[in-house]
Amino acid sequence: MTTRVARVSTTPRAGARARNRRGEGGLLRDEIVAAAAVILAEAGTEEAVTLRAVARQAGISAPSIYSHFPHRQAILLAVVKDAFTDLARHLHESLGDRTEPTARLLAVCDGYLDFAASSPHRYRVMFGGVWNASAAMASASVSPDDVGELGQDTLGLIAACLRRCVEAGGSTSTDVEADAVALWLGLHGLAHQRTASAAFPWPGDIQQRIVVPLAHLVHERARRD
Amino acid sequence: MTTRVARVSTTPRAGARARNRRGEGGLLRDEIVAAAAVILAEAGTEEAVTLRAVARQAGISAPSIYSHFPHRQAILLAVVKDAFTDLARHLHESLGDRTEPTARLLAVCDGYLDFAASSPHRYRVMFGGVWNASAAMASASVSPDDVGELGQDTLGLIAACLRRCVEAGGSTSTDVEADAVALWLGLHGLAHQRTASAAFPWPGDIQQRIVVPLAHLVHERARRD
DNA sequence: TGTACATCAGTGAACGCGCGTTCACTGATGTAC
DNA sequence: TGTACATCAGTGAACGCGCGTTCACTGATGTAC
């Protein structure tokens, strides 16, 4: 008996996809990344995102991918980049039209944990070292540096929210930049570990127990507008 | 051109290993786990720990592994279990003969981060969801539950240290169990993310910035005996 | 003390598989004249 | 307006590879008599 998955047809599903029009070949790129994201979400491991599996999911032949990505790793890197963009957007949406500084900070933290919980496999890959592993290889489409920058966006947003708290007297932090890093790491620890062991009996207030001290919030029972 | 690694001889290195004596076949089990740990440390990814690679590293033939492990995943699970045991030992050693409660807590935190930094790849795999992925499969040698329990040991040690701090007035925590979880998650966030981006400009005092608030320590500049 | 034999610790060859990648190609579509 | 042609968006078949796993085996070693 083998652990391998049962053989699946290697050809695209019949009629799954109509060829793009001339000049619109680039559209396939997005479909490839989307297909990779689907596989990642369903299978849950980076290994499952093989070039051939992506092609099957996208309804194209495997070699077609090479028009858009130089190698397999580049697809994963693109997925991660997309994910960071999604995260930034999600965090901004989480803010809504809130204006009260502490409520804004808490909303961003909520949004962060929410993002990780709603697509746990993707979250793991974002911080799984993909861009480290492929740091040596030059990728035409997405460079590892791009990803690093995108992570900075999130950190910057947390720092900005924290700064407003300090200015409004909602936080006693004396070094916003450094405390933002600490807060982010706390959020990351919770988000990451929760994706691994959902069954663990997490204290019900674990989120506040991490956010409030790390952000040096003054009012533990902050208003949420 | 292929990304595959250059072909390596599939047979063990000549004379690399003498057969165990009768009745001592079990010794090979430990050698297999040790070989897997070496590959993990050197290659840095879980995928690199293939059954055949482990056999090569251990100087044995691939089928020999089946006398000791029912399948590939079981080897990885054994590596993770070993790693948790190592972690627990390392933390106890970090305590040394310290008696001052705050110093003990800080020493355990130091030890934790130290452990992760000294074998980053192994640390990643410990919390990488191996035992989730294989939760469904029954393994004769190591069950996923065993691993979960081992993680509890570490958490328990942190909680015990924190409790002594509270009793001695070194911490203002009012819920030691929950705050121990929060502290551990903070440590995990830092440890995990540091293994991924060593290049990131971490604030120099990031460790204290996480530990002190999460443990609700009273004296930020605690004595270290 | 000698010897037949069971047991144990492995080995070597083979299997079918899915993988990443290359190559020569095809057929639709827009464009120049 | 019609047609030859270049370009583009892909395809299909093939490659060599390392993988996990199975199977029948081998040779050393301890044990019973």
CA distance A50 to A115: 25
In the predicted model, is pLDDT for residue A10 greater than 70?
A: no
- Distance of alpha carbon B180 from its chain centroid, rounded? 19
If you search the block for the tokens 């990803």, which residue do you land on? A147
Nearest to B129 among A47, A133, A196 (CB): A196
What confidence category does residue B224 fall into, taking pLDDT thresholds of 50, 70 and 90?
very low
Q: Which residues of A touch B175 (CB under 8 A)?
A: 203
pLDDT for the residue numbered B132: 65
Q: Are A84 and A150 in contact (CB under 8 A)?
A: yes
In the predicted model, is pLDDT for residue B136 greater than 70?
A: no
The three-state DSSP-derived secondary structure of chain B is CCCCCCCCCCCCCCCCCCCCCCCCCCHHHHHHHHHHHHHHHHHCCHHHCCHHHHHHHHCCCHHHHHHCCCCHHHHHHHHHHHHHHHHHHHHHHHHCCCCCHHHHHHHHHHHHHHHHHHCHHHHHHHCCCHHHHCCCCCCCCCCHHHHHHHHHHHHHHHHHHHHHHHHCCCECCCCHHHHHHHHHHHHHHHHHHHHHCCCCCCCCCHHHHHHHHHCCECCCCCCCC
* Cβ partners under 8 Å of residue A170, min gap 6: A101, A102, A105, A217, A218, A219, A222
Q: Which residues of B touch A1 (CB under 8 A)?
A: none
In the predicted model, is pLDDT for residue B160 greater than 70?
A: yes
* Cβ partners under 8 Å of residue A164, min gap 6: A101, A104, A105
What are the C-alpha distances in Å from A188 to residues A16, A58, A142, B140? 39, 32, 24, 34
| Residue–nucleotide distance: B75 CA to C28 C1' (Å) | 53
**For B195, nearest residue in chain A (alpha carbons):** A129
What confidence category does residue A130 fall into, taking pLDDT thresholds of 50, 70 and 90?
confident
Rounded to the nearest integer, the mean pLDDT of chain A is 87
Between chains, do B181 and A189 touch, taking CB under 8 Å as contact? Answer: no
Please give the average per-residue pLDDT across A108-125, as a whole number: 97
Length of chain A: 225
Q: Are A179 and A162 in contact (CB under 8 A)?
A: yes
**Which chain A residues 40-99 have CB under 7 A to strand D?**
60-64, 67
Distance spanning both ends of chain B, measured CA to CA:
59
Q: Are A193 and A115 in contact (CB under 8 A)?
A: no
What confidence category does residue A146 fall into, taking pLDDT thresholds of 50, 70 and 90?
low
What confidence category does residue B223 fall into, taking pLDDT thresholds of 50, 70 and 90?
very low
**Segment A33-49, tens digit of pLDDT:** 999 999 999 999 999 99
A72 interfaces chain B, CB cutoff of 8 Å: yes
Nearest to B213 among A128, A206, A216 (CB): A216
CA distance A71 to A167: 48
CA distance A133 to A115: 24
What confidence category does residue B7 fall into, taking pLDDT thresholds of 50, 70 and 90?
very low
pLDDT for the residue numbered B25: 79
Q: Are A188 and A123 in contact (CB under 8 A)?
A: no
Please give the average per-residue pLDDT across A141-157, as a whole number: 76
pLDDT for the residue numbered B141: 52
In the predicted model, is pLDDT for residue B44 greater than 80?
A: yes
Instruction: Considering only residues B217 and B139, tell me which one the structure prediction assigns the higher pLDDT.
Output: B217
Does the nearest atom of strand D lie within 7 Å of B66's Cβ? yes
Between chains, do B127 and A216 touch, taking CB under 8 Å as contact? Answer: no
**Segment A105-115, tens digit of pLDDT:** 999 999 999 99
Q: Which residues of B touch A185 (CB under 8 A)?
A: 186, 189-190, 193, 206, 210
In the predicted model, is pLDDT for residue A124 greater than 80?
A: yes
In the predicted model, is pLDDT for residue A224 greater than 50?
A: no
Q: Identify any residues that bridge with A217 across adjacent strands, giving them in sequence order.
A: A171
Between chains, do B132 and A196 touch, taking CB under 8 Å as contact? Answer: yes
* Cβ partners under 8 Å of residue B13, min gap 6: B56, B59
Alpha-carbon distance A27 to nearest alpha carbon in chain B (angstroms): 27
* Cβ partners under 8 Å of residue B66, min gap 6: none
What confidence category does residue A199 fall into, taking pLDDT thresholds of 50, 70 and 90?
confident
Please give the average per-residue pLDDT across A126-153, as a whole number: 67
What DSSP element (H or E) covers A81?
helix A72-95
Q: Using a 7 Å cut-off to protein CB atoms, list the covered nucleotides of chain D.
A: 7-14, 16-24, 28-30
Between chains, do B192 and A188 touch, taking CB under 8 Å as contact? Answer: yes
Q: Are B98 and B225 in contact (CB under 8 A)?
A: yes
- Residue B23: nearest nucleotide (C-alpha to C1'): C8
pLDDT for the residue numbered A155: 97
B124 interfaces chain A, CB cutoff of 8 Å: yes
**Segment B168-211, tens digit of pLDDT:** 999 999 999 999 999 999 999 999 999 988 888 999 999 999 99
What confidence category does residue B220 fall into, taking pLDDT thresholds of 50, 70 and 90?
low
What confidence category does residue B143 fall into, taking pLDDT thresholds of 50, 70 and 90?
low
Phi, psi of A188 (to 5 degrees): -60, -45
Instruction: State the CB neighbour count (10 A cutoff) for residue A25.
Output: 13
In the predicted model, is pLDDT for residue B4 greater than 50?
A: no
Please give the average per-residue pLDDT across B46-69, as a whole number: 97
What confidence category does residue B145 fall into, taking pLDDT thresholds of 50, 70 and 90?
low
**Segment B73-132, tens digit of pLDDT:** 999 999 999 999 999 999 999 999 999 999 999 999 999 999 999 999 999 999 987 776
**Segment A205-220, tens digit of pLDDT:** 999 999 999 999 997 5
Phi, psi of A217 (to 5 degrees): -75, 145
Q: Which residues of B touch A72 (CB under 8 A)?
A: 3
Phi, psi of A37 (to 5 degrees): -65, -40
Does the nearest atom of strand D lie within 7 Å of B4's Cβ? yes
**Segment A54-75, tens digit of pLDDT:** 999 999 999 999 999 999 999 9
Does the nearest atom of strand D lie within 7 Å of B117's Cβ? no
pLDDT for the residue numbered A56: 97
**Six token digits for residue A133:** 């592993």
B156 interfaces chain A, CB cutoff of 8 Å: no
Q: Identify any residues that bridge with B217 across adjacent strands, giving them in sequence order.
A: B171
In the predicted model, is pLDDT for residue B12 greater than 70?
A: no
**For A207, nearest residue in chain B (alpha carbons):** B182
